[in-house]
Structure 1
Protein backbone atom coordinates (compact mmCIF):
# COMPACT_ATOMS: atom_id res chain seq x y z
CA UNK A 1 0.00 0.00 0.00
CA UNK A 2 1.37 3.40 -0.95
CA UNK A 3 1.78 6.12 1.63
CA UNK A 4 -0.66 9.00 1.18
CA UNK A 5 0.36 12.31 2.60
CA UNK A 6 -2.29 14.27 4.47
CA UNK A 7 -4.21 16.67 2.30
CA UNK A 8 -5.18 20.10 3.41
CA UNK A 9 -7.86 22.03 1.60
CA UNK A 10 -8.60 24.99 3.89
CA UNK A 11 -6.54 28.17 4.12
CA UNK A 12 -7.27 30.41 7.08
CA UNK A 13 -6.91 34.10 6.27
CA UNK A 14 -6.23 36.06 9.42
CA UNK A 15 -5.70 39.76 9.92
CA UNK A 16 -5.46 39.99 13.70
CA UNK A 17 -2.21 41.96 13.44
CA UNK A 18 -2.73 43.52 10.00
CA UNK A 19 -4.98 46.21 8.68
CA UNK A 20 -5.78 46.06 4.99
CA UNK A 21 -8.73 47.01 2.77
CA UNK A 22 -11.74 44.75 2.37
CA UNK A 23 -11.16 44.52 -1.38
CA UNK A 24 -7.70 43.05 -0.73
CA UNK A 25 -9.25 40.41 1.53
CA UNK A 26 -11.71 39.53 -1.21
CA UNK A 27 -8.85 39.26 -3.72
CA UNK A 28 -7.07 36.87 -1.33
CA UNK A 29 -10.24 34.77 -1.13
CA UNK A 30 -10.39 34.66 -4.94
CA UNK A 31 -6.73 33.65 -5.10
CA UNK A 32 -7.24 30.81 -2.60
CA UNK A 33 -10.32 29.63 -4.53
CA UNK A 34 -8.35 29.75 -7.80
CA UNK A 35 -6.15 26.95 -6.41
CA UNK A 36 -9.26 24.84 -5.66
CA UNK A 37 -8.78 25.43 -1.92
CA UNK A 38 -11.32 26.71 0.60
CA UNK A 39 -10.72 30.13 2.12
CA UNK A 40 -11.67 30.51 5.78
CA UNK A 41 -11.36 34.17 6.80
CA UNK A 42 -10.83 34.83 10.48
CA UNK A 43 -12.86 37.80 11.67
CA UNK A 44 -12.81 39.53 15.00
CA UNK A 45 -13.51 42.71 16.87
CA UNK A 46 -10.12 42.95 18.60
CA UNK A 47 -7.10 44.24 16.68
CA UNK A 48 -3.62 43.13 17.80
CA UNK A 49 -4.83 40.10 19.72
CA UNK A 50 -2.94 36.87 20.03
CA UNK A 51 0.00 35.31 21.73
CA UNK A 52 0.54 36.64 25.21
CA UNK A 53 -1.01 40.08 24.68
CA UNK A 54 -2.33 41.16 28.08
CA UNK A 55 -6.04 42.00 28.34
CA UNK A 56 -5.14 45.47 29.63
CA UNK A 57 -3.18 46.26 26.45
CA UNK A 58 -6.03 45.07 24.26
CA UNK A 59 -8.54 47.02 26.31
CA UNK A 60 -6.51 50.18 25.72
CA UNK A 61 -6.71 49.60 21.96
CA UNK A 62 -10.48 49.10 22.05
CA UNK A 63 -12.65 46.90 19.87
CA UNK A 64 -14.27 47.52 16.52
CA UNK A 65 -17.99 47.62 15.89
CA UNK A 66 -19.50 44.13 15.44
CA UNK A 67 -21.41 45.52 12.46
CA UNK A 68 -18.11 45.82 10.59
CA UNK A 69 -17.42 42.10 11.19
CA UNK A 70 -20.94 41.19 10.03
CA UNK A 71 -20.77 43.30 6.88
CA UNK A 72 -17.41 41.83 5.92
CA UNK A 73 -18.70 38.35 6.76
CA UNK A 74 -21.60 38.84 4.33
CA UNK A 75 -19.18 39.88 1.59
CA UNK A 76 -17.07 36.78 2.18
CA UNK A 77 -20.11 34.50 2.11
CA UNK A 78 -21.28 36.18 -1.11
CA UNK A 79 -17.78 35.50 -2.53
CA UNK A 80 -18.25 31.78 -1.97
CA UNK A 81 -16.61 31.34 1.43
CA UNK A 82 -18.03 28.26 3.13
CA UNK A 83 -17.17 29.16 6.72
CA UNK A 84 -16.10 32.22 8.68
CA UNK A 85 -13.92 31.83 11.77
CA UNK A 86 -14.92 34.23 14.56
CA UNK A 87 -11.90 35.05 16.72
CA UNK A 88 -12.52 34.86 20.47
CA UNK A 89 -10.25 37.74 21.52
CA UNK A 90 -12.37 40.71 22.52
CA UNK A 91 -15.43 38.48 22.84
CA UNK A 92 -14.72 35.66 25.34
CA UNK A 93 -10.92 35.79 25.56
CA UNK A 94 -8.70 38.53 27.03
CA UNK A 95 -11.72 40.48 28.31
CA UNK A 96 -12.97 41.40 31.78
CA UNK A 97 -16.49 40.32 30.84
CA UNK A 98 -17.71 38.35 27.86
CA UNK A 99 -19.28 40.23 24.94
CA UNK A 100 -22.25 37.91 24.55
CA UNK A 101 -24.06 40.72 22.73
CA UNK A 102 -21.54 40.40 19.89
CA UNK A 103 -22.12 36.65 19.57
CA UNK A 104 -25.90 37.13 19.61
CA UNK A 105 -25.68 39.78 16.90
CA UNK A 106 -23.51 37.53 14.73
CA UNK A 107 -25.92 34.61 15.17
CA UNK A 108 -28.85 36.87 14.29
CA UNK A 109 -27.26 38.49 11.23
CA UNK A 110 -25.21 35.70 9.64
CA UNK A 111 -26.27 32.15 8.72
CA UNK A 112 -25.24 29.84 11.55
CA UNK A 113 -23.99 27.17 9.13
CA UNK A 114 -21.49 29.68 7.75
CA UNK A 115 -20.00 30.69 11.10
CA UNK A 116 -17.51 28.96 13.39
CA UNK A 117 -16.69 30.42 16.81
CA UNK A 118 -13.36 29.94 18.51
CA UNK A 119 -14.07 28.48 21.95
CA UNK A 120 -10.68 28.08 23.59
CA UNK A 121 -11.94 27.09 27.03
CA UNK A 122 -14.50 24.52 28.27
CA UNK A 123 -16.54 27.17 30.07
CA UNK A 124 -16.77 29.05 26.77
CA UNK A 125 -17.97 26.10 24.68
CA UNK A 126 -20.32 25.16 27.54
CA UNK A 127 -21.91 28.62 27.19
CA UNK A 128 -22.18 28.35 23.38
CA UNK A 129 -23.90 24.95 23.58
CA UNK A 130 -26.23 26.13 26.35
CA UNK A 131 -27.20 29.29 24.46
CA UNK A 132 -27.28 28.11 20.83
CA UNK A 133 -27.73 24.35 21.00
CA UNK A 134 -25.69 21.31 20.07
CA UNK A 135 -25.29 22.28 16.42
CA UNK A 136 -23.40 25.53 16.99
CA UNK A 137 -20.11 25.28 15.09
CA UNK A 138 -17.13 25.59 17.45
CA UNK A 139 -13.37 25.51 17.02
CA UNK A 140 -11.73 23.97 20.09
CA UNK A 141 -8.30 22.66 20.96
CA UNK A 142 -7.83 19.04 19.89
CA UNK A 143 -7.44 18.03 23.54
CA UNK A 144 -11.01 19.21 24.26
CA UNK A 145 -12.87 17.38 21.49
CA UNK A 146 -14.02 14.50 23.69
CA UNK A 147 -15.27 16.91 26.37
CA UNK A 148 -17.15 18.98 23.76
CA UNK A 149 -18.75 15.94 22.15
CA UNK A 150 -19.76 14.54 25.54
CA UNK A 151 -21.42 17.90 26.29
CA UNK A 152 -23.22 17.85 22.92
CA UNK A 153 -24.50 14.32 23.62
CA UNK A 154 -25.61 15.17 27.16
CA UNK A 155 -23.25 12.84 29.02
CA UNK A 156 -21.05 15.60 30.45
CA UNK A 157 -21.74 19.07 31.73
CA UNK A 158 -21.39 21.60 34.47
CA UNK A 159 -24.09 22.48 37.01
CA UNK A 160 -25.86 24.70 34.47
CA UNK A 161 -25.87 22.10 31.67
CA UNK A 162 -25.69 18.61 33.20
CA UNK A 163 -28.83 16.74 32.18
CA UNK A 164 -30.16 19.81 30.33
CA UNK A 165 -28.55 19.44 26.91
CA UNK A 166 -31.03 17.51 24.80
CA UNK A 167 -32.07 17.21 21.18
CA UNK A 168 -34.83 15.60 19.22
CA UNK A 169 -33.75 13.99 15.97
CA UNK A 170 -35.98 11.84 13.77
Structure 2
Protein backbone atom coordinates (compact mmCIF):
# COMPACT_ATOMS: atom_id res chain seq x y z
CA UNK A 1 0.00 0.00 0.00
CA UNK A 2 1.10 3.55 -0.69
CA UNK A 3 2.82 5.66 0.39
CA UNK A 4 5.78 3.28 0.37
CA UNK A 5 9.22 4.04 1.76
CA UNK A 6 10.94 1.23 -0.16
CA UNK A 7 10.12 -0.97 -3.09
CA UNK A 8 9.68 2.26 -5.03
CA UNK A 9 9.06 2.43 -8.76
CA UNK A 10 10.00 5.68 -10.50
CA UNK A 11 8.67 6.11 -14.04
CA UNK A 12 10.32 8.32 -16.65
CA UNK A 13 7.96 10.37 -18.82
CA UNK A 14 9.18 11.14 -22.34
CA UNK A 15 6.06 13.10 -23.30
CA UNK A 16 2.93 11.03 -22.70
CA UNK A 17 -0.35 12.92 -23.11
CA UNK A 18 -2.66 13.64 -20.17
CA UNK A 19 -5.20 11.15 -21.54
CA UNK A 20 -2.49 8.52 -21.95
CA UNK A 21 -1.30 9.16 -18.41
CA UNK A 22 -4.81 8.72 -17.00
CA UNK A 23 -5.26 5.48 -18.90
CA UNK A 24 -1.98 4.21 -17.46
CA UNK A 25 -2.84 5.29 -13.93
CA UNK A 26 -6.23 3.59 -14.13
CA UNK A 27 -4.53 0.23 -14.60
CA UNK A 28 -1.10 0.68 -13.00
CA UNK A 29 -1.27 3.67 -10.65
CA UNK A 30 -1.07 1.49 -7.55
CA UNK A 31 2.39 0.35 -8.60
CA UNK A 32 3.87 3.78 -9.38
CA UNK A 33 5.47 5.86 -6.63
CA UNK A 34 7.32 8.60 -8.54
CA UNK A 35 6.60 10.17 -11.91
CA UNK A 36 9.53 12.04 -13.43
CA UNK A 37 9.17 14.31 -16.44
CA UNK A 38 12.30 13.26 -18.34
CA UNK A 39 15.12 15.84 -18.48
CA UNK A 40 13.60 19.08 -19.90
CA UNK A 41 10.73 17.56 -21.90
CA UNK A 42 8.07 19.21 -19.78
CA UNK A 43 9.31 22.66 -20.86
CA UNK A 44 8.09 21.90 -24.40
CA UNK A 45 4.60 20.87 -23.32
CA UNK A 46 1.76 23.39 -22.90
CA UNK A 47 1.60 24.40 -19.24
CA UNK A 48 -2.06 23.43 -19.13
CA UNK A 49 -1.09 19.86 -20.02
CA UNK A 50 1.76 19.84 -17.48
CA UNK A 51 -0.62 20.95 -14.73
CA UNK A 52 -3.21 18.38 -15.80
CA UNK A 53 -0.64 15.60 -15.65
CA UNK A 54 0.52 16.72 -12.21
CA UNK A 55 -3.07 16.66 -10.94
CA UNK A 56 -3.60 13.17 -12.37
CA UNK A 57 -0.50 11.95 -10.53
CA UNK A 58 -1.76 13.44 -7.29
CA UNK A 59 -5.12 11.68 -7.71
CA UNK A 60 -3.24 8.38 -7.64
CA UNK A 61 -0.89 9.31 -4.78
CA UNK A 62 2.12 9.51 -7.10
CA UNK A 63 4.91 11.98 -6.31
CA UNK A 64 5.77 14.05 -9.37
CA UNK A 65 9.03 15.81 -10.21
CA UNK A 66 10.83 17.42 -13.15
CA UNK A 67 14.03 15.87 -14.45
CA UNK A 68 17.21 17.06 -12.78
CA UNK A 69 18.50 18.53 -16.04
CA UNK A 70 15.98 21.36 -15.81
CA UNK A 71 17.23 22.22 -12.31
CA UNK A 72 20.79 22.22 -13.63
CA UNK A 73 19.75 24.66 -16.36
CA UNK A 74 18.24 26.97 -13.73
CA UNK A 75 21.42 26.70 -11.65
CA UNK A 76 23.57 27.61 -14.65
CA UNK A 77 21.47 30.74 -15.15
CA UNK A 78 21.48 31.71 -11.48
CA UNK A 79 17.70 31.34 -11.22
CA UNK A 80 17.24 28.59 -8.63
CA UNK A 81 14.77 30.31 -6.30
CA UNK A 82 12.69 31.63 -9.18
CA UNK A 83 12.68 28.17 -10.71
CA UNK A 84 11.63 26.42 -7.50
CA UNK A 85 8.84 28.95 -6.97
CA UNK A 86 7.64 28.24 -10.51
CA UNK A 87 7.66 24.49 -9.85
CA UNK A 88 5.59 24.98 -6.72
CA UNK A 89 3.03 27.06 -8.60
CA UNK A 90 2.71 24.30 -11.18
CA UNK A 91 2.12 21.75 -8.43
CA UNK A 92 5.33 19.73 -8.43
CA UNK A 93 5.76 18.00 -5.07
CA UNK A 94 9.20 16.38 -5.37
CA UNK A 95 12.58 17.38 -6.73
CA UNK A 96 15.64 15.74 -8.22
CA UNK A 97 18.96 17.48 -7.62
CA UNK A 98 21.67 16.43 -10.07
CA UNK A 99 24.97 17.67 -11.44
CA UNK A 100 25.46 15.26 -14.30
CA UNK A 101 25.81 17.94 -16.98
CA UNK A 102 26.53 21.39 -15.52
CA UNK A 103 29.66 21.87 -13.43
CA UNK A 104 28.66 22.17 -9.78
CA UNK A 105 30.84 21.52 -6.75
CA UNK A 106 29.65 19.46 -3.81
CA UNK A 107 28.96 22.42 -1.54
CA UNK A 108 26.79 24.01 -4.22
CA UNK A 109 24.88 20.77 -4.66
CA UNK A 110 24.35 20.32 -0.93
CA UNK A 111 23.09 23.89 -0.74
CA UNK A 112 20.55 23.04 -3.45
CA UNK A 113 19.36 20.10 -1.36
CA UNK A 114 18.77 22.40 1.60
CA UNK A 115 17.07 25.02 -0.58
CA UNK A 116 14.75 22.34 -1.95
CA UNK A 117 13.91 21.33 1.62
CA UNK A 118 13.24 24.97 2.49
CA UNK A 119 10.72 25.07 -0.36
CA UNK A 120 9.01 21.99 1.15
CA UNK A 121 9.75 19.59 -1.68
CA UNK A 122 9.44 15.95 -0.61
CA UNK A 123 11.10 13.73 -1.31
CA UNK A 124 14.28 15.45 -2.40
CA UNK A 125 16.28 12.98 -4.47
CA UNK A 126 19.87 13.52 -5.50
CA UNK A 127 21.63 11.81 -8.38
CA UNK A 128 25.28 10.77 -8.36
CA UNK A 129 27.11 10.22 -11.63
CA UNK A 130 27.74 11.96 -14.93
CA UNK A 131 25.70 11.85 -18.12
CA UNK A 132 28.67 11.21 -20.41
CA UNK A 133 29.91 7.62 -19.99
CA UNK A 134 33.58 8.60 -20.20
CA UNK A 135 33.14 11.23 -17.47
CA UNK A 136 31.12 8.84 -15.33
CA UNK A 137 33.78 6.15 -15.69
CA UNK A 138 36.42 8.59 -14.42
CA UNK A 139 34.56 9.05 -11.12
CA UNK A 140 36.26 6.70 -8.62
CA UNK A 141 33.89 4.34 -6.87
CA UNK A 142 35.15 5.43 -3.45
CA UNK A 143 34.40 9.05 -4.32
CA UNK A 144 30.95 8.10 -5.63
CA UNK A 145 30.14 6.40 -2.34
CA UNK A 146 31.41 9.38 -0.35
CA UNK A 147 29.24 11.74 -2.41
CA UNK A 148 26.20 9.59 -1.73
CA UNK A 149 26.93 9.66 2.00
CA UNK A 150 27.37 13.43 2.05
CA UNK A 151 24.16 14.04 0.13
CA UNK A 152 22.12 11.81 2.43
CA UNK A 153 23.66 13.53 5.45
CA UNK A 154 22.69 16.89 3.93
CA UNK A 155 19.05 15.86 3.85
CA UNK A 156 18.49 13.99 0.60
CA UNK A 157 15.76 11.39 1.06
CA UNK A 158 17.09 9.05 -1.64
CA UNK A 159 20.14 8.93 -3.90
CA UNK A 160 19.91 7.82 -7.52
CA UNK A 161 22.73 5.83 -9.09
CA UNK A 162 23.06 7.32 -12.58
CA UNK A 163 22.53 4.93 -15.50
CA UNK A 164 20.60 7.10 -17.97
CA UNK A 165 17.77 5.80 -20.14
CA UNK A 166 19.91 3.22 -21.87
CA UNK A 167 21.39 1.46 -18.85
CA UNK A 168 24.34 0.50 -21.03
CA UNK A 169 28.01 1.33 -20.50
CA UNK A 170 27.46 3.67 -17.58
CA UNK A 171 27.27 3.56 -13.79
CA UNK A 172 26.57 0.05 -12.49
CA UNK A 173 26.24 -1.50 -15.96
CA UNK A 174 28.82 -2.62 -18.50
CA UNK A 175 28.81 -2.16 -22.27
CA UNK A 176 26.28 -4.98 -22.65
CA UNK A 177 24.00 -3.66 -19.93
CA UNK A 178 25.00 -6.39 -17.49
CA UNK A 179 25.27 -5.50 -13.81
CA UNK A 180 28.79 -4.84 -12.52
CA UNK A 181 28.46 -6.80 -9.31
CA UNK A 182 31.51 -5.40 -7.54
CA UNK A 183 30.31 -1.86 -8.30
CA UNK A 184 26.90 -2.54 -6.76
CA UNK A 185 28.24 -4.39 -3.73
CA UNK A 186 30.77 -1.64 -3.01
CA UNK A 187 27.93 0.86 -2.79
CA UNK A 188 25.59 -1.26 -0.67
CA UNK A 189 28.33 -2.02 1.85
CA UNK A 190 28.33 1.69 2.70
CA UNK A 191 24.85 3.00 1.80
CA UNK A 192 21.53 1.58 3.08
CA UNK A 193 19.77 -0.19 0.22
CA UNK A 194 16.46 1.45 1.09
CA UNK A 195 18.04 4.86 0.44
CA UNK A 196 19.29 3.96 -3.05
CA UNK A 197 17.31 4.35 -6.27
CA UNK A 198 18.87 2.21 -8.99
CA UNK A 199 18.20 3.40 -12.50
CA UNK A 200 17.37 0.08 -14.16
CA UNK A 201 15.71 0.51 -17.55
CA UNK A 202 16.43 -3.04 -18.74
CA UNK A 203 14.52 -6.12 -17.63
CA UNK A 204 17.73 -8.08 -16.99
CA UNK A 205 18.89 -5.35 -14.59
CA UNK A 206 15.56 -5.34 -12.78
CA UNK A 207 15.69 -9.12 -12.40
CA UNK A 208 19.24 -9.07 -11.02
CA UNK A 209 18.55 -6.30 -8.52
CA UNK A 210 15.30 -7.89 -7.32
CA UNK A 211 16.98 -11.26 -6.87
CA UNK A 212 19.91 -9.70 -5.05
CA UNK A 213 18.08 -7.23 -2.79
CA UNK A 214 14.52 -8.50 -2.78
CA UNK A 215 11.26 -7.11 -4.17
CA UNK A 216 11.51 -3.91 -2.15
CA UNK A 217 14.55 -2.58 -3.98
CA UNK A 218 13.98 0.92 -5.41
CA UNK A 219 14.06 1.07 -9.22
CA UNK A 220 14.00 4.07 -11.54
CA UNK A 221 13.94 5.03 -15.21
CA UNK A 222 11.10 2.58 -15.75
CA UNK A 223 9.17 3.11 -18.97
CA UNK A 224 5.39 3.58 -18.59
CA UNK A 225 4.58 0.34 -20.38
CA UNK A 226 7.01 -1.58 -18.14
CA UNK A 227 5.28 -0.77 -14.83
CA UNK A 228 3.09 -3.87 -14.67
CA UNK A 229 5.78 -6.21 -16.05
CA UNK A 230 8.13 -4.90 -13.33
CA UNK A 231 5.53 -5.48 -10.64
CA UNK A 232 5.15 -9.10 -11.75
CA UNK A 233 8.90 -9.47 -11.25
CA UNK A 234 8.63 -8.00 -7.76
CA UNK A 235 5.79 -10.37 -6.86
CA UNK A 236 7.36 -13.51 -8.31
CA UNK A 237 4.66 -13.74 -10.96
CA UNK A 238 7.08 -13.99 -13.89
CA UNK A 239 9.39 -16.85 -14.73
CA UNK A 240 12.55 -14.85 -14.04
CA UNK A 241 11.75 -14.42 -10.33
CA UNK A 242 9.00 -16.96 -9.61
CA UNK A 243 11.33 -19.63 -8.17
CA UNK A 244 12.87 -17.06 -5.83
CA UNK A 245 9.94 -14.95 -4.70
CA UNK A 246 6.48 -16.41 -5.30
CA UNK A 247 5.96 -17.76 -1.79
CA UNK A 248 8.01 -15.11 0.00
CA UNK A 249 6.68 -11.75 -1.18
CA UNK A 250 4.51 -9.40 0.86
CA UNK A 251 3.80 -6.00 -0.71
For residues 61 and 78 of structure 1, what CA distance do their matches in structure 2 show? 23
Equivalent runs, 1:12-161 vs 2, <5 Å: 12-38=96-122, 39-44=124-129, 47-49=130-132, 58-59=133-134, 62-88=137-163, 89-92=170-173, 94=175, 98-139=179-220, 140-158=222-240, 161=241
For residues 142 and 243 of structure 2, what CA distance do their matches in structure 1 show? 36
- Structure-2 residue corresponding to 1:164: 244
Deviation at residue 60 of structure 1 after TM alignment: 8.3
Gap change, CA 1:16 and 1:94, over 3 Å in 2? farther
Instruction: Return the structure number with greater relative CO, CA threshold 8 A, min gap 6.
Output: 2
Please tell me whether the aligned partners of residues 155 and 163 of structure 1 are also in contact (alpha carbons under 8 angstroms).
no
Q: Structure 2 regions of 5+ residues with no counterpart? A: 1-50, 56-90, 164-169
Q: How many residues align?
A: 155
For residues 111 and 119 of structure 2, what CA distance do their matches in structure 1 show? 13
Q: Structure 1 regions of 5+ residues with no counterpart? A: 50-57
For residues 42 and 27 of structure 1, what CA distance do their matches in structure 2 show? 14
Deviation at residue 156 of structure 1 after TM alignment: 0.6
TM-score in terms of structure 2 length: 0.55
- Name the SS of the counterpart of 1:18 in structure 2: coil
Q: Cα deviations across residues 108-138 of structure 1 (Å, max 9, x unaligned)?
A: 1111121110001111101101111111111
Q: Which has a greater percent of helix?
A: 2
Taking only aligned residues, the RMSD between alpha carbons, in angstroms, comes to 2.5
For residues 136 and 48 of structure 1, what CA distance do their matches in structure 2 show? 23
TM-score in terms of structure 1 length: 0.79
For residues 224 and 184 of structure 2, what CA distance do their matches in structure 1 show? 23
